Amino acid sequence: MTYLWIAVGGALGSLARYSLTRMTLGWSNSFPWGTVLINILGAFVIGFFGTFTLASGRFAVSENIRLFVMVGLCGGFTTFSSFSLQTFDLLRSGAWGKALANVLLSVVLCFAAVAIGHVLAQRTVFRAAIAETREEEFTA
């Protein structure tokens, strides 16, 4: 059953990636902005969801749901292989500056997106715990 969850998530993530790529074609002809955006969004989702649904946390979900989102959806959605090929194509065409920009933007912004997702999930969990404590004090 775990493999089915991952496969369905991967299929949905791939469809979302294709859709977003098609939507960015008009403004990303000379630079792979669609891929950069997809990787940033995927990094944010995995950073947020991974922290928000930890087994030890308030919003824990089953391992299958975590695998569905983090391995399936994010794995199908993010595009490291596309990123690598597009960077290689930029290098082959002599666009060294664009290739470097693609690497730096993707790596730095994706790392930042994971960190922001993680911090937002931690704050959300913390605020929920405070609200629950206040509610318990109020009803006691």
Q: By residue range, what is the domain housing residue 11? A: 2-139
How many domains is the chain partitioned into structurally? 1
> Residue 73 carries which DSSP code?
I
State yes or no: pLDDT of 133 exceeds 90. no
Which burial class, exposed, middle or buried, applies to 132 when counting CB atoms under 10 A from its CB (0-12, 13-18, 19+)? exposed
**pLDDT (tens digit per residue) in 92-129:** 999 999 999 999 999 999 999 999 999 999 999 988 88
**pLDDT value, residue 81:** 78
5: closest CA among 90, 76, 67? 67
Mean pLDDT computed over every residue of the chain: 91
pLDDT of residue 76: 95
| pLDDT greater than 90 at residue 139 | no
* Cα–Cα distance measured from residue 19 to residue 41, given in angstroms and rounded to the nearest whole number: 14
